Chains A and B, each alone.
Chain A
Amino acid sequence: MSTVPPESSALLAEMCRHLSGLLAAGASRVTMAAGPVRLEVEGGGRPAAPAAVAPEPAAEPGLAVVAPLVGVFYRAPQPGAAPFVEVGDQVEPGQQVGIVEAMKLMNPVLAERAGRVTRIAADDGAPVEYEQPLLLLEPAGGEVG
Chain B
Amino acid sequence: MFATVLIANRGEIALRVVRTCREMGIRTVVAHSTADRDSAAVRAADAAVQIGPAAPKGSYLSIPAVIEAARAAGAQAVHPGYGFLSEDADFAEVCAANDLVFIGPPPEVMARLGDKAAARREMASYGLPVLPGSAGTVNSLAEAAEVVDRIGYPVIIKAAAGGGGRGMSVVRSARELGRAYRATRAAAQAVFGDGRVYLERFCDQARHVEVQVLADRHGTVLHLGERDCSVQRRHQKLVEEAPAPNLPDALRAEMAAAAVAGARAAGYVGAGTFEFLVADDGFHFMEINCRIQVEHPVTEMVTGLDLVREQIRIAAGLPLKAGQHDVRPRGVALECRVNAEDPAREYAPAPGTLDEFVPPGGPFTRVDTHGYAGWRVTSDYDSLLAKVIVWAPDRLHAIARMRRALAEFRVAGRGVRTTIPALDRVLDEPDFIAGVHGTDLLSRMTQETP
Q: Which residues of A contact B (CB under 8 A)?
A: 24-25, 49-52, 55, 69-72, 102-103, 105, 127, 129-132
Pick from A55, A70, A105, A131: contact of B69, CB below 8 A: A70
B9 to chain A, nearest CB (A): 16
Which residues on A sit within 8 Å (CB–CB) of B63? 103
Q: Which residues of A contact B138 (CB under 8 A)?
A: none
Query: Is B74 part of the binding interface, using a Cβ–Cβ cutoff of 8 Å?
Result: yes
Sample of 4 more A-B contacts, CB < 8 Å, known A49-B74, A129-B72: A69-B68, A70-B51, A102-B65, A127-B68
B68:A102 contact, CB within 8 angstroms: yes
The residues in B between 13 and 72 inclusive whose CB is less than 8 angstroms from any CB of A are 29, 34, 47-53, 58-59, 62-65, 67-69, 71-72
Contact A70 B52 (CB under 8 A): yes
Residues of chain B at the chain A interface (Cβ within 8 Å):
29, 34, 47-53, 58-59, 62-65, 67-69, 71-74, 94, 98
Whether B72 contacts A49 by the Cβ 8 Å rule is: yes
Could you list 14 A-B pairs, sorted by A, with CB under 8 Å? Answer: A51-B48, A52-B47, A69-B51, A69-B52, A69-B62, A69-B65, A70-B50, A70-B52, A70-B65, A102-B65, A103-B98, A127-B68, A130-B51, A130-B65
User: What are the residues of chain A within 8 A of B50 when measuring CB–CB?
Assistant: 55, 70, 129-132
A-B contact count (CB 8 A): 66
Contacts of B65 in A (CB 8 A): 69-70, 102, 130
Q: B93 CB to closest chain A CB, in angstroms?
A: 13
Contact A51 B49 (CB under 8 A): yes
**Which B residue's beta carbon lies closest to that of A107?**
B64
Among A49, A69, A72, A103, point to the contact of B73 (Cβ < 8 A).
A49
List A contacts of B47 (CB < 8 A): 49, 51-52
User: Which residues from B are CB-within-8-Å of A55?
Assistant: 50
> Contact between A69 and B48 (Cβ–Cβ < 8 Å)?
no
- Separation in Å of the A29 CB from the closest CB of chain B? 19
A113 to chain B, nearest CB (A): 20
State whether B68 touches A103 (Cβ < 8 A): yes
Inter-subunit contact B68/A70 (CB<8 Å): yes
Q: Chain A: which residue is nearest B6 at the CB level?
A: A51
A128 to B, closest residue via Cβ: B72
Is the CB–CB distance between B67 and A103 below 8 Å? yes
Q: State the CA gap A114–B303 with chains docked (Å).
A: 62
Residues of B within 8 A of A52 (CB): 47
Hey, which chain B residues are within 8 Å of A103, CB to CB? 63-64, 67-68, 94, 98
Q: Which residues of A contact B67 (CB under 8 A)?
A: 102-103
User: B97's closest neighbor in chain A, by CB?
Assistant: A103
- B64 touching A129, Cβ below 8 Å: no
Which of A24, A50, A130, A132 touches B52 (beta carbons < 8 Å)? A130
Of the candidates A69, A105, A129, A130, the one having the most CB atoms from chain B within 10 angstroms of its own CB is A130
Q: Which residues of A contact B53 (CB under 8 A)?
A: 130
The answer to whether A129 and B74 have CB atoms under 8 Å apart is no
Q: CA–CA, A70 to B64, complex, Å?
A: 8
| Chain B residues positioned under 8 Å from A130 (CB to CB) | 34, 50-53, 59, 65
Q: Is A69 in contact with B34, judged by CB distance below 8 angstroms?
A: no
Would you list the 10 A-B pairs with minimal beta carbon distance, nearest first?
A: A127-B72, A51-B47, A51-B73, A103-B64, A129-B50, A102-B64, A70-B68, A49-B72, A70-B51, A102-B68
* Contacting pair A50 B49 (CB below 8 A): yes
Chain B residue with the shortest CB-CB distance to A24: B74
CA distance A132 to B51 in the complex (A): 10
- Measured CB to CB, the closest approach of chain B to A125, in angstroms, equals 12
